[in-house]
Every structure is written in structure tokens, then in C-alpha cells.
Amino acid sequence: MEDFHDVRFPLHLAYGTSGGPRRPTDILQMANGSEVRNAKGRHSRRTYNAIAGIKTEIEAIELMNFFEARRGPLCGFRFRDPLDHKSADPVTATDQIIGTGDGHRKTFQLVKTYGDDPHAYIRPITKPVDGTVKVAVDGVQNEISYDPMTGQVTFETAPVPGSLITAGFEFDVPVRFASDALDIALDDFGAMQIQDVPLIEIHQAAAVSTALQDVA
């Protein structure tokens, strides 16, 4: 069985979801009161709790079916972050810089940049929404092909050396269930009680390792 299913967590079950990026950091307190801080990884990892959207028996059954079809945390799926699912608003072909042409390279990784140099964070985007990807070379929109499962875009002809390659897109976050079990209770009035529906982002190693190289 594939470890990622190309399906999205039902949007109506995700209303009211809480969560966002996590940045695990080791913090060492020195004797003089100063701190030494070290990041545990280059990339943030998003976590969510979708409990707020589950209110009825029908919704609980739908969630249970989705959980079982994914075999719990075994298989990943798409999730739309309610606050962060576009390259910009509105989406245009010049929203994000994804690389520079060298006359040979045809394939580039979609990325989204947060903040400004020299402290900008470049996030690989691996699950663009089909039909939303737009790509431009030096501001002129180009026809390209793209893989909605990796976020890689491919030109038929390699962009010329020094050309600026940009892209706009909507995207999902690849996640999995973060728990082995669903704890669902139905009270006497038909209302649902669910403790947690934790989700955690899945990183794709190939995209993570090449994203910074593409925009360098």
C-alpha cells in the first residue's frame, strides 16, 4: 500500500481547526543568565487539532471512515491549512521566486518564502492544488507541467541563463494522523465528545534537500 493517499481531509470537518508551525529548539541556560539556542531542524513542522469541526454523529462516522481508510497514522493525506494555503492572495505567476535559469535545468521545486533576507525562511511546497499552479520566466507566464504529488514544475525548454523563475499556487499540507486511536463518545442527546484529532506534517526528504539549492 502507498504510504500517502492523494485525498484531502474533508474541509467541513476541519472548520475551527487549531494549529500551526512548530520550531523545536534546544535552549541551554548558562550560569551567567545568558542562553545558548540551537534549532533541532532546518524546517518547521506543522501540527493541527481538527476536533472543533466534529459536532454530530454523521460527522463522527465520516471521520471514522476517513481514519480507517488511512489505516490510522500509516498513510498520509492532504490537509488545507485555513490560514496558509496560497502563495499570495490573489495568486499570480510572480508570487514566489523558485529558481534562476542556467540554460540546462528544466525542473524546479515549488517553494514559499517567509520574511525577508537575510532571515527569510524557504519552505518546500510538495502538494500544490491541481489546476492552480502558474509559472513565469522574467515575468512572462509560461506553459509548464507539474507534479501535484511532489511540487516539482518542469519546462519543455530549459530557461535561459540568469532568467528569474517565479510561481503562484494554492497548496495543501501533507499530514498524517498523530495518534493510533480515535476516542469518540456519543452522549444521550446525540452530541459527540471527541478528545483530540491530532494531525502532524509529513516532510518529503527529496524536496526538503533540494529546495534551498533551487532558489540559491
Residues 53 and 160 in one domain: no
The pairing of strands 134-137 and 164-168 is antiparallel
> 127: which 3 cell numbers?
502538494
Residue 116, pLDDT > 70, answer yes
pLDDT in tens, 59-84: 888 999 999 999 999 999 999 999 99
Residues 114 and 190 in one domain: no
Distance CA 190, CA 148 (A): 40
- Going by pLDDT thresholds of 50, 70 and 90, the confidence category of residue 189 is low
Could you tell me if residue 212 is inside a domain? no
- Name the pTM for this structure: 0.89
Q: Is 47 a domain residue?
A: yes
Rounded to 5°, the CA angle 92-94-97 comes to 135
Return the percentage of the chain with pLDDT > 70, whole number: 91
**pLDDT for position 120:** 95
Contact 155, 140 (CB under 8 A): no
In a shared domain, residues 133 and 162: yes
Rounded Cα gap, residues 153 and 143, in angstroms: 10
**Residue 121, domain member (yes or no):** yes
- Grid coordinates of 144: 509548464
- Burial (0-12, 13-18, 19+ Cβ within 10 Å), 5: middle
Residues 72, 93: one domain?
Answer: no
- Do 72 and 137 reside in the same domain of the chain? no
pLDDT at 126 over 80: yes
Residues 21 and 123 in one domain: no
> What whole-number distance in Å separates Cα of residue 11 and Cα of residue 13?
5
Q: Are residues 159 and 181 in the same domain?
A: no
In the chain the first and final C-alpha atoms are separated, in Å, by 36
Residues in the chain: 216
Q: Identify the band that residue 185 occupies on the pLDDT scale cut at 50, 70 and 90.
A: confident
Average confidence (pLDDT) over 47-61:
84
Structural domain includes residue 160: yes
Containing domain of residue 126, as a range?
Answer: 86-171
* Domain membership flag for residue 159: yes
| Same-domain check for residues 63 and 98 | no
Residues 157 and 167 grouped into a single domain: yes
In-domain check, residue 213: no
In a domain? residue 215: no
Task: With respect to residue 104, please indicate whether it lies within any of the assigned structural domains.
Answer: yes
Contact 51, 59 (CB under 8 A): no
Average pLDDT over the chain reads 90
CA distance 44 to 112: 13
The total of structural domains in the chain comes to 2
Considering the domain architecture, whether residues 14 and 121 belong to the same structural domain is answered as no
Give me 25's grid cell: 529548539
Do 32 and 109 belong to one domain? Answer: no
